[in-house]
Chains A and B, each alone.
Chain A
Amino acid sequence: KQEVTQIPAALSVPEGENLVLNCSFTDSAIYNLQWFRQDPGKGLTSLLLIQSSQREQTSGRLNASLDKSSGRSTLYIAASQPGDSATYLCAVRPHSGGYQKVTFGTGTKLQVIP
């Protein structure tokens, strides 16, 4: 059974700082890994999706990396802004072939202080 862990559970940083969020998964036989953002009272918004054959994906100030062999992914946020304050979740999809159920991590709650 796939287990996805995110550490730390909460993080508070001053505005402008670069930061890294971590995601670990126990079964390396994944098809892809996705990072989501969740704002209070709202649903999840997809940020980046990394296929198992890729090492990283970039979008603006965000960079996500994937190391399948070690069961890890990181989300790098450059020059953090107060608007980045939210909970960040990673989700893992099993390897292709038949039905694939996504497993979510527990999330990291980020607060960027002006």
Chain B
Amino acid sequence: EAGVAQSPRYKIIEKRQSVAFWCNPISGHATLYWYQQILGQGPKLLIQFQNNGVVDDSQLPKDRFSAERLKGVDSTLKIQPAKLEDSAVYLCASSRNRASTDTQYFGPGTRLTVL
């Protein structure tokens, strides 16, 4: 079974530029998560999708971050414009459903550096 795929793996941009990350979840997984992990901290949930609908985006900085999951499969996370404090690893995860017993499977992450 293929895992969660993310691209790019690394990205370096200057502040005020825009950037987009892509995630392909495990086939058949209905729930998709985007996390932000700042160095030395645990992952923080940015947004959670159930199929192509948003379940939770309470911690997403909506003035600069946006995400979509078209057709309930792949997802993109965009930052526009980027700030220095956005430097982090962005992790995508998926699970079969959002039930409490469903394990989340994580992708390798995208490391973003904002200069």
Q: Which A residues lie at the B interface, using CB under 8 A?
A: 4, 9, 31-32, 34, 41-46, 49, 51, 89, 91, 93, 96, 99-107
Shortest beta-carbon distance from B111 to chain A in Å: 8
User: Which of A4, A45, A93 is within 8 Å of B42, CB to CB?
Assistant: A4
B109 touches A43 (CB 8 A): yes
B42 touches A96 (CB 8 A): no
DSSP majority for the B interface? loop
Beyond the given pairs A96-B100, A103-B42, A104-B43, 13 more chain A to chain B contacts, judged by CB atoms under 8 angstroms and listed by A's residue number, are A9-B40, A34-B103, A41-B108, A41-B109, A42-B108, A43-B107, A43-B108, A44-B93, A51-B101, A89-B43, A99-B56, A100-B100, A104-B44
Given A41-B108, A101-B56: A106 touches B100 (CB 8 Å cut-off): no
Which residues of chain B (31-87) have a CB below 8 Å from chain A? 40-45, 48, 55-56
The 24 sampled A-B contact pairs (Cβ below 8 Å) are: A4-B42, A9-B40, A31-B100, A32-B101, A34-B103, A41-B109, A43-B91, A43-B93, A43-B107, A44-B43, A44-B106, A46-B103, A46-B104, A46-B105, A51-B101, A89-B42, A93-B100, A99-B55, A100-B100, A102-B104, A104-B42, A104-B44, A106-B41, A107-B42
Contacts of B40 in A (CB 8 A): 9, 106
Q: Which B residues lie at the A interface, using CB under 8 A?
A: 4, 40-45, 48, 55-56, 91, 93, 98, 100-101, 103-109, 111
- Cα-based distance from A44 to B104 in the complex (angstroms): 9
